[in-house]
Amino acid sequence: MLTIYNDLTNRKETFQPLQAGKVSMYVCGMTVYDLCHLGHARVMVVFDVVYRYLQANGYDVSYIRNITDVDDKIINRANERGIPFTELTEEFIQAMHQDADALGVLRPTDEPKATQHMDQILAMISRLIEKGHAYAADNGDVYYDVRSFPSYGKLSGKSIEDLQAGARVEPGDAKRDPLDFALWKSAKPEEPAWDSPWGRGRPGWHIECSAMSTNALGNSFDIHGGGADLTFPHHENEIAQSEGATGHPFVKYWMHNGFVRINDEKMSKSLGNFFTVREILDRYQAEEVRYFILTSHYRSPLNYDTEHLDNARGALTRFYTALRGLPEGQSADGESYKTRFHEAMDDDFNTPEALAVLFDLVREINRIKETNVEEAASLGTLLRELGGMLGLLQSDPESYLKGGASTDDGLSDDKIDAMIQARIDARAAKEWGEADRIRDELQDAGIILEDGAEGTTWRRG
């Protein structure tokens, strides 16, 4: 039975969806004003694995990942570049999709945009006012009355009394209480704005997710995910808004992935240790980045350094080398491997343990590969099936092994093949010095040769 650590109850719980056979899942997506960084990549990969595994277990999954396409950062960046905010967001939505596709992230069922849900946002704000959970200020802003929701803080574990300490109303705020937060912001000059009962303006960030998630999945749904940094105040505010408006429990299981650290320091632009996905993909293949992300349990911190990515490359090289040259085979029974893999994944999506099972499977493939090709091929098919639930090992082995970092000498595949043939010819003519020279030249260029009974194969180091 699948168990999930529920951040709402702070314990592992047996997963029982609200509707048998169906799963509804919402994950907070990107605010599209810049390129995806490693933190975004982790969210996308983690919940892509959740999505894949639920589907592999026979669930019909509705997976919603929103796009925030209007907020202060977007407006400021568009103004800096002198372009309409819609042009900026479209540029970075396309970039996000390119990065996600490269990382093997499946497209969600739907990707709602905040700007396309103004009617739902306005309707939810109106209901909150009607129910006494929100109020319109004289300046056209609308605020959520935090003290009107007695269970505020139940996700983050924060109490209103603790939050009150040190809280204050900022100059220019029209809120009644420093804990209250904006649902609607009155229009400022030269900013995008929409008509509302309280005057022209735009929504606050928190209300966007409440409106989009309940519109897509209903008043109550199974899983809500996102980064740990969103627990408070964003997700706490979503609960207050959604349950205040609908009167129904909002989410059954809350999941948050851990922070990303760079060389054991928190990732931060101010520290100069901030990496975009594209910067990392300049040095490593996308599957290596994905594998690296899965080597840590999703709830644990993920520490980025080149050693860990090099280890990911080494692991995938071992996997694809085992698969190299194997014919297509019928999936082996391999019940012990399947059982252990599912036990790992059923334990709150424990991907490090699941990867350990794949390593054991590779070890067995290598043990029998030379003596029992048919059985090795069957185990290879099983390896691909299990790896597929993690979004791994779906490439052609030759493509992966020859697709590593490009050599400083810019050697093309054809040039490498020609040099290998020249080495074969030199060895046949017993010109050992020439054969060694070619081998050393390739090795210096990062090309690793592997001589076997079926000839010489190569891969990029």
Rounded Cα gap, residues 277 and 396, in angstroms: 23
Whether residues 334 and 244 share a domain: the answer is no
Paired strand residues for 446 = none
Residues 417 and 390 in one domain: no
* CATH at residue 117: 3.40.50.620
Average pLDDT over the chain reads 92
Question: Is 437 part of a structural domain of the chain?
Answer: yes
Same domain, 396 and 417: no
Residue 359 has pLDDT above 90, yes or no: yes
417 and 396 together in one domain: no
- 386 plus 430 within the same structural domain: no
Instruction: Indicate if 139 and 288 belong to the same structural domain.
Output: no
Tell me, yes or no, whether 70 and 206 share the same domain: yes
Q: Are residues 152 and 254 in the same domain?
A: yes
* pLDDT per residue as tens digits for the range 288-306: 999 999 999 999 999 999 9
268 lies in some domain: no
Would you say residue 146 lies in a domain? Answer: yes
Domain contains 298:
yes
What's the CATH code of the domain at 360? 1.20.120.640
In this predicted model, what pLDDT tens digit does every residue of 176-221 receive, in sequence order? 999 999 999 999 998 999 999 999 999 999 999 999 999 999 999 9
Q: Which of 29-33, 173-177, 327-331 has the lowest mean pLDDT?
A: 327-331
Q: Does the annotation place 191 within a ligand binding site?
A: no
Q: How many domains does the chain have?
A: 3
pLDDT tens per residue, range 320-333: 999 999 998 777 67
Looking at the domain assignment, is residue 160 inside a domain?
A: yes
How large is the average pLDDT for residues 406-413? Answer: 56
Q: Is 234 annotated as a binding residue?
A: yes
**Helical segments of 389-450, H only:** 397-401, 413-428, 432-444
Give the range among 94-98, 165-169, 274-278, 347-351 with minimum mean pLDDT: 165-169
- The domain of 316 spans 283-401
pLDDT of residue 458: 74
pLDDT digits (tens, 9 = 90+) for 272-284: 777 899 999 999 9
Rounded to the nearest 5 degrees, what angle is found at the Cα of 239, between the Cα atoms of 110 and 186? 80
Kindly state the average pLDDT of the residues 340-359: 98
Residue 190 lies in a domain: yes
Is residue 191 located within the same domain as residue 304? no
Q: Report, as an integer, the average pLDDT of 415-439.
A: 76
28 has binding-site annotation: yes
Same domain, 44 and 142: yes
What distances in angstroms separate CA 329 from CA 319, 384, 453, one per listed residue? Answer: 17, 11, 21
Taking only the tens place, the pLDDT of each residue in 41-61 is 999 999 999 999 999 999 999
pLDDT the model gives residue 170: 67
Report if residue 211 sits inside a domain. Answer: yes
Give pTM, 2 decimals.
0.89
**Same domain membership, residue 313 and residue 234:** no
Claim to verify: residue 87 and residue 21 sit in the same structural domain: yes
What backbone phi and psi angles, to 5 degrees, belong to 39? -60, -40
Q: Answer whether residue 406 shows pLDDT above 60.
A: no
Handedness of CA 159, 165, 167, 168 (dihedral sign): positive
Q: Is residue 120 part of a domain?
A: yes
For the cut 80, the answer to whether the pLDDT of residue 271 exceeds it is: no
- Sheet containing strand 221-227, edge to edge, reads 60-65, 22-27, 221-227, 251-257
